[in-house]
Amino acid sequence: MSFRVRGRRVRKWFFGDSARAFGTLGVLLLALLAIVPAKDRFREWLGYQKEYEILIRGRTDGVALAKRFQSGVQQIWLPERDVTDRCMTCHTRLKETSLAGVGQPFRPHPPIPHSLTEFGCTICHRGQGVATTVEEAHRSTKAWEEPILPAQYSEAGCGQCHRDGLKGTPQLNAGRVLLARYGCVNCHRLVSPEGGASQGTDRPPSLKRIAEKTTREWIYFWIKDPQAWAATATMPNFGLSDADARDVSAFVISQSSPGSIAPAVATNDAGAAAGAELYGESFCASCHAMQNAAGKITGGDLAPDLTRVGSKVRPEWLAAWVKNPAAYLPGTMMPHFRFDEKQIGLLVSYLGRKQDSYFPANIRLEPATAAQIAHGQKLVLEKGCAACHEMNGVARPDNFAPDLTAVGSLPPARVLLAPGVPRTLPDYLAAKIREPHAFGREMKMPRNQFTDAQVEQLVTALLAQTSRSQTFPAALRRPTPVNVTYQPAGRAGQLMKDLRCLSCHSINGTGGSMAPDLTWEGSSVQRAWLLDFLKNPNTLRPVLIRRMPRFNLSNDDASTLADYIMTAYQTPAFDREEVDATKLTPTEASRGKSLFYGKYACNSCHIVDPDNDKGYIGPTLTQAGTRLNAPWIFHWLKNAQALRPGSLELNWNMNDEDAWAITAFLMQQKNTRKPGGER
C-alpha cells in the first residue's frame, strides 16, 4: 500500500464526513485545553517550592523547617506603601538563619533592623513584586521599568529614607560625601525630600582676583589637567584642547580685577632653610601635603598640595596670603597665623623655592588677542565654569546640568546607549561618571579620575535618589541632621573665627573632625594649662602626627580665649569646682593606682609613667593633674560617651568608689616630662 493511499485512508477516517471531523476536532480541542492546567502545574514558583521541600527533607532540622514552611503564593501587601510583594513565594524562608550556606532563592536575609512584613522587599531592592516568574520579577520588561538593584548597590535602598549616615552603609555615605566634595552638586541640583538642595564641600576659589595670585601660564597648565598638577585636586578635567586652554586662561586673567600689588618680599636660601623649620613648627603639614625627598606625599588633605607652590603663586601674593589669608579669600579655612614680617619672609623663601622645572621651561603663551579672550569667555559659559568659581562679569548659571533629585528612578527607556555599556541604569551611571564623553563628544560633563570603588560609591548615592524617596511619609524619613551653624560670640568669637578653630575642632555640632570636640572643654581642663597650651601647643596623643599649630598669640589674646573657653564651654552635668577633698586622699590614690594597672588595665592605652608605660592609643596622662579637673575625670570614667559622643574611651560602667580612686590617682600626675624624654 503506497504512502499516498494510506494517507488518503487516514484522512478519510478522521475527516471523512462532518461527524468524523467533528469528533476529531473535538478530541484535538480537548487535548489542547488540557495543556492549560498542565501549564499551571509547571509554574516556576511551584518548582522552587518543591526544590525547597527536597532541600529541607535531608536536614536534621527539617521537621522544624517544614512546620514553618507555607506552600502556595505568599505575599506581603501594604496598600498604603504601594507594595504587593510575592518574592517570598520562591524566596521561601528569608528568616531561616540556619539555612545560611544555601544558595538562592533560599538564602536567608542578612539581619536588618526592619521587619520584612512591614516594608516588603521591593521598596529597597526594586524589581516587580507582584510577579511570580524569575524573569518578570527581576528584569526590566515593558511592564516593569525598575529591575532588581544589583547586589553591590544594595545600600542605595537604605539611602532612600536614611540621610543620616547609617553605620551600616559606608558605601552610600562615602558616595554622598564624594558628590559634595567633587562639586557634582555645584552643577547638578540634588534636592532632599525636606527641600534643601545639597551643597558642595569643595569650596572652589573665587577667580575675581586671580591675576594677583598666579600667572596665565599656570592657569593654562592647570585647566588642561588639574590632576597632573596635584593628584588631590577635586577640579575635574574638561578635556580642553591647547587652543581652548589658551583662550580660557586669557579670559580668566582678563576678567580679574586689578588688585593692590603687595611689595615684593626679599627671599634668600638661608631663609629657605629657616622657613622649612618654621613650616614644621607651625604644623602647616596638618592640613597641607607636600612631596618629600623620597617622593612620598605627606601631610593633610584639608588644604592644597604645596609641592610645587613656588611655580604656582606669585611671591608677593604668597606673602600677603600668609600674613592674612582672609584678606584675599574671606571664606578660607586657613587660620590667621600671627607671623611677623621676618617669619613671612622665611616662609616665602622656603615655599617660593618649591618649584617645578618643567613648568616655566615648557609653557610659553603669546599675549592674548581680543578674539582669544572672547572665545575664552564663550568656552567659560559653555563649560559652566561659573557654576563653581565666582568670576567678574559671568553670572552663576542656574540648572546648568540635569537635576539629579530623582535620577535613581530614571526609566531604562531614557538611559542613553553607548557601545559596550549594558543598558541598565547602574551601568549607565557608572559609565557616565567614568567617561562622560563615551555618550557623545558634545557632552558637557567633565571627567574626574575616580577609582572603581569611588565610582561604585557615587552610583550607590545616585541610585538612592528615587522618585519614591521623595514621597515617603515624613515618619519614615531619616533626614540629614540639621546643621545649626554655631558661631562663638564676642571678641573671643572674632578671635576664634580669625584662627579658624572650627576648621579642625568642632563645637556644639559645628566644625571639623580633625581635632577634639571642644564643646565641654571648659569643664574638662584647668585654665593655667589651657593658657599654656594655647601659647605653645603640643600634642597629647603620642601616636598622632598632626598637632595644633602655634598661632603666635599675644598674651592678651591667649587669655581672652582661655577665659572664654573656661566660661562658655561647660557641661551642665556637673560643676568643675565641686571637689570633695576627702575623696582625693593619698590612700585613695594608691588604691586607684592598683585599679589603673590592675582591674581596668588603663595602661593598655594611656601613659602615666613615661619610662615604663607603653599605652599609645589614648592621650598621655603624665600631666593629668595639671591639665584636667577631678570631676571631669570622675564623670569621664563613669560614662565618657555622655561627655564626648564618639569617644574611643570604653564605657566602663565603673562604680563610684573605683572612679574616685582612679581620679585621685590621676590628679597626682603632675609630670611635665613627656614620654621619650622630650621637653
Partner 1 sequence: MNSLYSRLRGTAVWRSVFRSGTGDTNLHRSLTVQQNIFLHLASVKIRRRALEFGVTWYLGTLSMASFVILVVTGVLLMLYYHPSVPQAYADMKDLQFVVSAGVFLRNLHRWAAHAMVVLVFAHMFKVFYRGAYRPPREFNWVVGVMLLLLTLFLSYTGYLLPWDQLAFWAITVGSNIISAVPAMGAKIRFLMLGGHTVNANALLRFYVLHCVILPLIAAVFLAVHFWRIRKDGGLYTGDKPRE
Partner 2 sequence: MVDCIRGTSPVSEPKDFRASFDSDSQRTPVRVAFVTRRTTPHVTKAGDDRVMTNPDALLRVAVAVMALLIVLVVVSLLFDAPLEGLANPLQTPNPAKAPWYFLGLQELLHYFPPVVAGVVIPSLVVLALVVIPYFNVNVEAEGFWNRNGERKSILVWVAVAALSAFLVWFSVYAVLVPTLVSGGALIVTAAAPPQDKGFGGWLRSKPLPFWIMTWFLVVAITLTVIGTCFRGAGWSWVWPWGEL
Burial level of 167, CB count in 10 A (0-12/13-18/19+)?
exposed
Among 1, 19, 31, 37, binds partner 1 (CB under 8 A): 37
Q: Which residue has the cell 548659571?
A: 397
Our finding on whether 33 is near partner 2 (CB under 8 A) is yes
Applying the rule CB under 8 A, the residues between 65 and 104 that interact with partner 1 are: 73, 84, 86
Least distance (Å) from partner 1 to the CB of residue 27? 17
Query: Which set of grid coordinates corresponds to residue 609?
Result: 609613667
Decide whether 17 or 611 has the Cβ nearer to partner 1.
17
Q: How far is CA 79 from the centre of its chain?
A: 35
Least distance (Å) from partner 1 to the CB of residue 31? 15
Beta bridge partners of 510: 507
Least distance (Å) from partner 2 to the CB of residue 30? 10
Least distance (Å) from partner 2 to the CB of residue 82? 10
Least distance (Å) from partner 2 to the CB of residue 32? 5
Element (H, E) at 247: helix 242-255
Our finding on whether 143 is near partner 1 (CB under 8 A) is yes
Tell me which of partner 2, partner 1, none is bound by residue 136, counting a contact when its beta carbon lies within the kind-specific cut-off of 5 to 8 angstroms: partner 1
**x/- map, 352-391, partner 2, by CB under 8 A:** ----------------------------------------
SS3 621: coil
Our finding on whether 5 is near partner 2 (CB under 8 A) is no
Decide whether 32 or 100 has the Cβ nearer to partner 2.
32
Residues 555 and 340: their CA atoms lie apart, in Å, by 16
SS3 454: helix
Least distance (Å) from partner 2 to the CB of residue 22? 5
Q: Is there a cis peptide before residue 110, judged by omega within 30 degrees of 0?
A: no
Our finding on whether 130 is near partner 1 (CB under 8 A) is yes
Our finding on whether 132 is near partner 1 (CB under 8 A) is yes
Least distance (Å) from partner 1 to the CB of residue 129? 9
Our finding on whether 18 is near partner 2 (CB under 8 A) is yes
The one-letter amino acid code at 184 reads C
Residues 478 and 246: their CA atoms lie apart, in Å, by 48
Backbone phi, psi, residue 410, to 5°? -60, 125
Residues 235 and 219: their CA atoms lie apart, in Å, by 13
Size of site (CB under 8 A) for partner 1: 13
Tell me which of partner 2, partner 1, none is bound by residue 32, counting a contact when its beta carbon lies within the kind-specific cut-off of 5 to 8 angstroms: partner 2
Applying the rule CB under 8 A, the residues between 130 and 169 that interact with partner 2 are: 142-145
Decide whether 143 or 484 has the Cβ nearer to partner 2.
143
- Given the rule CB under 8 A, which of 9-17, 125-133, 162-170, 598-606 is the region that contacts partner 1? 125-133
Helix axis angle, 3-15 to 18-41, nearest 10°: 90
- Given the rule CB under 8 A, which of 27-35, 268-276, 367-375, 601-609 is the region that contacts partner 2? 27-35
Residues 311 and 318: their CA atoms lie apart, in Å, by 11
Query: What angle is formed at CA 436 by the lines to CA 430 and CA 441, rounded to 5 degrees?
Result: 150
Tell me which of partner 2, partner 1, none is bound by residue 13, counting a contact when its beta carbon lies within the kind-specific cut-off of 5 to 8 angstroms: none
CB 189 within 8 A of CB 405: yes
CB 262 within 8 A of CB 317: yes
Least distance (Å) from partner 1 to the CB of residue 38? 10
Least distance (Å) from partner 2 to the CB of residue 132? 14
With b for 16 or more beta-carbon neighbours within 10 A and e for fewer, the 498-525 pattern comes to: bbbbbbbbbbbeebeebbbbbbbbbbbb
- Given the rule CB under 8 A, which of 129-137, 352-360, 422-430, 619-627 is the region that contacts partner 1? 129-137
Among 1, 2, 5, 35, binds partner 2 (CB under 8 A): 35
Residues 6+ apart with CB under 8 A from 95: 108, 109, 116
CB 491 within 8 A of CB 431: no
Of 359, 29, 379, the C-alpha closest to 217 is 359
With b for 16 or more beta-carbon neighbours within 10 A and e for fewer, the 308-340 pattern comes to: bbbbbbbbbbbbbbbbebeebbeebebbbbbbe
Q: List interacting residues with partner 2 (CB under 8 A).
A: 18-19, 21-22, 25-26, 28-29, 32-33, 35-36, 39, 142-145, 411
Q: List interacting residues with partner 1 (CB under 8 A).
A: 36-37, 39-40, 73, 84, 86, 130-133, 136, 143
